[in-house]
Amino acid sequence: MLPGSGAALARCLPTCLRDWRQPTRICSVNTMKTDCVIAGGGPAGMMLGLLLARAGVDVVVLEKHADFLRDFRGDTIHPSTLDVMHELGLLDEFLRRPHDELREVAVRVGDEQATLADFRHVPTHCKFLMMMPQWDFLDFLAGHARKLPSFHLVMRAEAQRLLIDEGRVTGVVARTPEGELEVRAALVVGADGRHSTIRAQAGLQPQDFGAPMDVLWLRVSRLAADPPDLFGQVDAGRMLVMIARGDYWQCALLIPKGSGDVWRGRGVAALHEALLGLSPWLGERVKELTDWDEQVKLLSVTVDRLREWAMPGLLCIGDAAHAMSPIGGVGINLAVQDAVAAARLLAQPLREHELDLDALRRVQRRREWPVRVVQRMQLTMQDRLIAPILASTGPVRMPGFLRMLGRFPLLRRIPAWFIGVGVRPEHVA
Ligand SMILES: Cc1cc2nc3c(=O)[nH]c(=O)nc-3n(C[C@H](O)[C@H](O)[C@H](O)COP(=O)(O)OP(=O)(O)OC[C@H]3O[C@@H](n4cnc5c(N)ncnc54)[C@H](O)[C@@H]3O)c2cc1C
C-alpha cells in the first residue's frame, strides 16, 4: 500500500467522499493517495473497484455523476456475469432484486418468425438473460463494495487530466463541487466509457470500425397477451428489437447511421408510423410517445478498439478500451469480464507494489482476443444483415442461416452460448 492509503486514507476522507449518498459539503482534503484510482463508476469501474477492494487493495472510484440514476444505458446482465455474482457469493441476493428473465430470442422477418437463441442450455448457473436497469446493478455493486474498508467511492468527481511523472502516469486530477481533487496512485484505470477522457489524456487513439446504424431507444406499454420475451422485427428499411420488461417494452429502433436528426425533425408521428409498420399489434399504444426529448434516447453506435490498452501506470478497460456494437447486448458483460480479469491479474502486484507495464499488458493480452472475436461477429452482422436491410426498399426475406436456426432447436444453443457465455469467460480469483 502507498503511504497515506488504506485505513489512514479512509480516516482522512471527509464524509462526503466516503458516502456518496450524503449531500456533498465543503471538503478541506483535496489530495488523496491510494493504490488504484478508477475513473468511471460504470459496470467496468464498479466491478473492478469491488474486486480489488475485496482482494485487499486500496481503491478510489471517481464517478462524475451524483448518482447512478441516469438515462437508459442498457440493462442486460448475461449468464456469465451472473456466474461472477455467484462466485462472489452475491447471486441469491442479486436475484431477489426486481428483474426480468429472458430465455429465448426470436425474430420476425416479414410474415415469417423464427427462434434464434435458446438460453435454457447454457453451461452456467442461470440459464437466462437477466434484464435489470443498469442503475440497480451499479447500486448493488456499490452497496457491497462500500462495506469494504479499502473501497472509496467519490461521486460528482469528474476525472479531467492525468498526472504524469517521467513518462509514468502517477495519478489523476478530478473536478468536484469543492474544487480540484488530486488522487495519486500506483495505477490509474480508465473505465470512463466510450468517450473516455482518460484515454484521450493519455494520447491513446482507438481504431474506429464504423457502423451502418444508430439506435433510437424508447418504451411502449406491454399487455399480457403480447408476444413473450425478446424479439426482433424486420421489414424493408426498418428493424425493431423489443425486450419484454414487466409492464413495458423496451424498444430499439435501428435507423441509418447519422439519421437521428432527420428522425427527430419528423417528430413522434414518424415513430408511431414506424412502430405500427413493424408491430401493428401495438395499436393505440404507440400514441404513448408524445415527447421526443423526454421519451426517446439516441444511441450513436460506435465500434472501436484501442491498439494499446496500457502505458506505464495506466490501463483502459470496458468501453474506454473497446466500444461494442449493440448487437447481442454484450457491452456490459464484456466490461464486467475485463474488470474480473484485471482484478485477478493486478491485485497481487498492486498489493506487493510490483506493478509494471508487463502486468498491465497481460490484461490486454487476456481480454483483447474475446473482444476481437465478438467485434468481428458484430461487424459481419452489421455489414451482411443490418446494412442491407436498412438500405432495402422492397420486401425482405428471412436470411437462410436464421431460417436454419428456426428449424433446428439444437442449433439455437450456439448463438445462446455465444451471447450468454462468450469466448473465454472470466472467473473471480
Ligand atoms: C442507450 C444505450 C443502450 C445500451 N444498451 C445495451 C444493452 O442492452 N446491453 C449491453 O450490454 N450494453 C448496452 N449498451 C452499452 C453498455 O451500456 C456499455 O457497453 C457498458 O455500460 C460499458 O461499461 P463501462 O463501465 O465500460 O462504461 P460506461 O457504462 O459508459 O460507464 C462509464 C462511467 O464513467 C463515468 N464517467 C465518464 N467520464 C468520466 C470522467 N471523466 N470522470 C469520472 N467518471 C466518468 C460515466 O458517468 C459512467 O458512469 C448500451 C449503451 C447505451 C448508451
pLDDT at 363: 98
Q: Cell 507495464 maps to which residue?
A: 357
pLDDT average, residue stretch 232-241: 85
The Cα 91–Cα 124 span in angstroms is: 12
pLDDT average, residue stretch 150-178: 97
pLDDT at 6: 43
Q: CB–CB of 36/186 below 8 Å?
A: yes
The Cα 250–Cα 271 span in angstroms is: 14
Neighbours of 75 (CB within 10 A): 20
**For residue 9, pLDDT beyond 60:** no
Residues 6 or more apart in contact with residue 401 via CB below 8 angstroms: none
Going by alpha carbons, the residue nearest to atom 5 of ligand 1 is: 74
Going by alpha carbons, the residue nearest to atom 51 of ligand 1 is: 73
pTM assigned to the model: 0.91
The Cα 252–Cα 232 span in angstroms is: 9
**401 vs 198, which has greater pLDDT?**
198
Name the band, by pLDDT with cuts 50, 70 and 90, for residue 230: low
> C-alpha distances in angstroms, 175 versus 181, 209, 259, 367?
6, 32, 34, 31
Output the CA 414–ligand 1 centroid distance in Å.
Answer: 27
Atom of ligand 1 nearest to the CA of 298: 1
**398 vs 219, which has greater pLDDT?**
219
pLDDT at 229: 67
- Which residues does ligand 1 sit against, CB inside 6 Å? 39-45, 62-65, 72-76, 158-159, 191-193, 197, 217, 297, 299, 318-320, 324, 326, 329-333, 335
Question: Residue 279 corresponds to which cell in the numbers above?
Answer: 408491430
**For residue 21, pLDDT beyond 60:** no
The Cα 218–Cα 213 span in angstroms is: 16
Going by alpha carbons, the residue nearest to atom 50 of ligand 1 is: 74
pLDDT at 16: 39
The Cα 424–Cα 242 span in angstroms is: 29
> C-alpha distances in angstroms, 328 versus 2, 9, 27, 101, 105?
41, 41, 44, 15, 10
CA dihedral sign of residues 34, 36, 39, 44: negative
pLDDT digits (tens, 9 = 90+) for 239-257: 999 988 888 998 999 999 9
> By mean pLDDT, which of 133-137, 173-177, 345-349 is the weakest?
133-137
The Cα 295–Cα 289 span in angstroms is: 7
Question: Residue 140 corresponds to which cell in the numbers above?
Answer: 448493488
Name the band, by pLDDT with cuts 50, 70 and 90, for residue 72: low
pLDDT digits (tens, 9 = 90+) for 88-128: 999 999 999 999 898 988 888 877 888 889 999 999 999 99
pLDDT digits (tens, 9 = 90+) for 359-370: 999 999 999 999
Residues 6 or more apart in contact with residue 322 via CB below 8 angstroms: 206, 304, 305, 306, 334, 371, 375
pLDDT digits (tens, 9 = 90+) for 185-195: 999 999 999 99
In degrees and rounded to multiples of 5, residue 174 shows phi and psi of: -115, 150
> By mean pLDDT, which of 54-68, 166-180, 395-409 is the weakest?
395-409
pLDDT > 70: percent of the chain: 92
> C-alpha distances in angstroms, 389 versus 218, 251, 380, 404?
21, 18, 14, 19
Going by alpha carbons, the residue nearest to atom 49 of ligand 1 is: 42
Q: Of the residues 63, 73, 175, which should be mutated to test ligand 1's pocket, given the most ligand atoms within 8 Å of the CB?
A: 73
Provide the residue count of the chain: 429
Name the band, by pLDDT with cuts 50, 70 and 90, for residue 71: low
The continuous run of DSSP H or E covering 187 comes out as strand 179-190
Output the CA 138–ligand 1 centroid distance in Å.
Answer: 11
Q: Of the residues 332, 333, 337, 375, which should be mutated to test ligand 1's pocket, given the most ligand atoms within 8 Å of the CB?
A: 332
pLDDT average, residue stretch 47-55: 98
Going by alpha carbons, the residue nearest to atom 30 of ligand 1 is: 193
Going by alpha carbons, the residue nearest to atom 7 of ligand 1 is: 74
Going by alpha carbons, the residue nearest to atom 19 of ligand 1 is: 331
Q: Of the residues 68, 99, 188, 192, which should be mutated to test ligand 1's pocket, given the most ligand atoms within 8 Å of the CB?
A: 192
pLDDT at 350: 98
Name the band, by pLDDT with cuts 50, 70 and 90, for residue 400: confident
Atom of ligand 1 nearest to the CA of 45: 25
Output the CA 191–ligand 1 centroid distance in Å.
Answer: 9
pLDDT average, residue stretch 316-326: 96
Q: Of the residues 50, 64, 139, 374, which should be mutated to test ligand 1's pocket, given the most ligand atoms within 8 Å of the CB?
A: 64
Name the band, by pLDDT with cuts 50, 70 and 90, for residue 5: very low
Atom of ligand 1 nearest to the CA of 158: 42
Task: Output b/e per residue, 147-172; b: 16+ Cβ within 10 A.
Answer: ebebbbbbbbbbbbbbbbeeeebbbb
- Three-state DSSP at 238 gives strand
Atom of ligand 1 nearest to the CA of 46: 25
The Cα 360–Cα 362 span in angstroms is: 5
pLDDT mean across residues, the chain: 90
The Cα 217–Cα 74 span in angstroms is: 10
Beta strands in 310-423 (DSSP E): 310-311, 314-316
Task: Output b/e per residue, 292-330; b: 16+ Cβ within 10 A.
Answer: beeebebbebbbbbbeebbbbbbbbbbbbbbbbbbbbbb
Going by alpha carbons, the residue nearest to atom 13 of ligand 1 is: 74
Output the CA 69–ligand 1 centroid distance in Å.
Answer: 12
**For residue 268, pLDDT beyond 70:** yes
